[in-house]
Amino acid sequence: MRPAFSTLGVPGMPVAEVVRLAAACGYQGVELRAHPEEPVHPLLGLRERAAVRGRFADAGVEILTVAGYARVAAECAGPAAEAALAHELAELVLLAGDLGAGYVRVFPGSGGRPVERAEADAVRRLAAVAPLAAERGVRVVLETHDSHRTGAAVARILAAVDDPWVGAVWDVLHSWLGGEAPAATRAALAGHPGYVQVKDVASAQDLTPLPLGAGVLPLPEVVAALGPGAGGWWCWEYEKRWYPGAAGLPGLLAEGRAHLARLLDGGAGRGPDDA
């Protein structure tokens, strides 16, 4: 297992403190939320990018992902909007490459459009950015989220793209909300390399983030679906940004890391990045 956490749980925290927490609590990587309100985003200059990369490298912590908000299945009203989305995708890939991140996270976000048209647009856009991703050594990963919550739905898009530099993030909350069993998600996403994004909540009606193991998400079944000792990256996304009343993530990080270790203890296995 390679544990990571998302800075969505520590909104606005300076890079130095994120690095310190990761190293102190035993996390090998961090998923950086790439939004203008955060310290790291696509408008960051080259000198600042190099400084961020250096801080993480000096601490022995990887920048796992640049977590963007591009919606590849969204409707674009005209050529200018289409060009803006293509630019957003390219800038996220360039940022990730400059930071040494292995992944760029994107969303489907079709917004209720007809499925065939939305997925055709997503395939076209992901295929268009794939050569740049390959050039920069960054995999663009489509998250099981919003309009495409399940592995089966995301896999339809990825199968049509058919490019090794385009893969998937398995967000266990959304596949669960979509009614898909962990074994089915794993089967659907096999062959689409990426990583697992874990979290916990009280119920489908109350999505306030909880410490890992304190809620109802079927994390043991996710581990079982991936095999004993499931390896690869496991990123804890604690969505405090949207739930300010939730407990602070820094105080939960050490026990969260321990809980992941207990879940995944069981010998050699395969993770989603090994698919």
Q: What's the distance, CA 58 to chain centroid?
A: 23
Q: Residue 128: is its pLDDT beyond 70?
A: yes
Nearest to 67 by CA among 161, 130, 4: 4
Share of the chain above pLDDT 70, in %: 95
Question: Which residues are registered as beta bridge partners of 145?
Answer: 148
pLDDT tens digit sequence for 222-255:
999 998 656 799 999 999 999 999 999 999 999 9
Q: Residue 265: is its pLDDT beyond 90?
A: no
User: How many residues does the structure list for the chain?
Assistant: 275
Q: Residue 270: is its pLDDT beyond 90?
A: no
Q: Residue 267: is its pLDDT beyond 80?
A: no
The Cα–Cα gap between 25 and 95 comes to 26
Share of the chain above pLDDT 90, in %: 92
Least confident of 10-19, 104-113, 260-269: 260-269
pLDDT band (50, 70, 90) for residue 69: very high
Q: Residue 269: is its pLDDT beyond 70?
A: no
The Cα–Cα gap between 232 and 264 comes to 11
Per-residue pLDDT, averaged over 66-73, amounts to 98
pLDDT tens digit sequence for 207-219:
999 999 999 999 9
pLDDT score for 193: 94
Spell out the domain ranges in the chain. 2-274
Tokens describing residue 127:
């295929």
pLDDT score for 227: 81
- Could you confirm whether domain 2-274 is CATH 3.40.50.300? no
Mean pLDDT of the chain: 94
At 96 the three-state DSSP class reads: helix
